[in-house]
Amino acid sequence: MANLLIRDLRAIARGFPENLADWPHIPCPTCTRGALLPVPDSFEVEESVTSRSWHGHDEWEPDWIRGGFHCVLTCRKETCDQVRVIGDMTVGWTGRDDVPYERHLTPTMFFPALPLLENRGLCPSEVGERVDAAAKILWLDPNSAANRVRAAVEALMDDQGVIRKKLGRAGRGVRLSLDDRITTFKTALPQHRDAADLLLAVKWIGNVGSHEDVLRIPDVLEGVEFLDHALSLIYDTNHDDMKKRASNVTARQGRPGTLFNEAPS
């Protein structure tokens, strides 16, 4: 099943065009279902002082322009909180004769932070809090965000009762790696093997975020998508309920259940 929230976030990660009407769907952090719309009067974009100083250079071109933007976003639901977005502005060559150059806007912070998990309501509190912490810095520092998503997997293992330490040869407690904890989880609860495989991938992405500065926002979103689906597999009881309901319908051969409760004539 497609994760529509991650799809929206990936579109946002590609940046915003200058025309506000063309901005992608931005999920509301208050209701999680509504779309945030830019308030035109609040939108401001400005070239930086340093960028303006380059205009006198003999080889200056419009694609040297750099600056920033900010804007207020509102949900269609009036009861939802406003969101503020700030980011970087660049100018790029389009190759078109009618509009050879256009501005491109890259968000670096949303306040409040945009939601990351479709299954946030299924989260144990510690897991959700660590993902929320990742959401606050995702757009500015994806590597650090990946590390916080990895920490959410540690919290998930805690919630599932997977030990953090075992006795070593000297009788002292030895801390288990997250890799070992996921393996223990997979072995002890074979019904969650698929979820464990997803969590292992999240761990690897988090490891790269901890030790290398190479991750970009889409890389982190992939890990979040894996975690989101794992949460659904582990905590969502609707899957079992749906199987039971389908079995009942099959047993009735499709007839409405109320027919079996009617008094005989």
Domain co-membership, 104 together with 138: no
pLDDT attached to residue 248? 83
Domain co-membership, 94 together with 19: yes
- Helix/strand/coil for 101: strand
- pLDDT tens digits along 131-163: 999 999 999 999 999 999 999 999 999 999 999
- State yes or no: pLDDT of 256 exceeds 60: yes
Domain co-membership, 173 together with 85: no
Mean pLDDT within 63-79: 96
C-alpha torsion angle, residues 213, 70, 128, 241 (rounded to 10): -110
Instruction: Answer whether residue 252 is part of any domain.
Output: no
**pTM of structure:** 0.87
First to last CA, the chain: 46
- Domain boundaries, position 152: 118-247
- CA atoms of 12 and 138, how far apart (whole Å): 12
pLDDT attached to residue 245? 79
Residue 263: pLDDT band (50, 70, 90) is low
Domain co-membership, 128 together with 94: no
Task: Using the 3D structure, point to which of 115, 134, 151 is the last residue of a domain.
Answer: 115
DSSP for 126-165, please give it.
HHHHHHHHHHHHTTT-HHHHHHHHHHHHHHHHHHTT--SE
Count structural domains, the chain: 2
Instruction: Answer whether residue 90 is part of any domain.
Output: yes
Burial 149-169 (b: 16+ CB within 10 A, else e): bbbbbbbbbeebebeeeeeee
Task: Using the 3D structure, point to which of 98, 115, 132 is the last residue of a domain.
Answer: 115
Instruction: Answer whether residue 130 is part of any domain.
Output: yes
Domain co-membership, 38 together with 2: yes
Q: Which of 19, 2, 139 is nearest to 83 (CA)?
A: 139
Instruction: Answer whether residue 202 is part of any domain.
Output: yes
Give 197's DSSP letter: H
pLDDT attached to residue 146? 97
- pLDDT tens digits along 175-220: 899 999 999 999 999 999 999 999 999 999 999 999 888 999 999 9
pLDDT attached to residue 80? 96
- State yes or no: pLDDT of 90 exceeds 60: yes
Whether 228 contacts 6, CB under 8 Å = yes
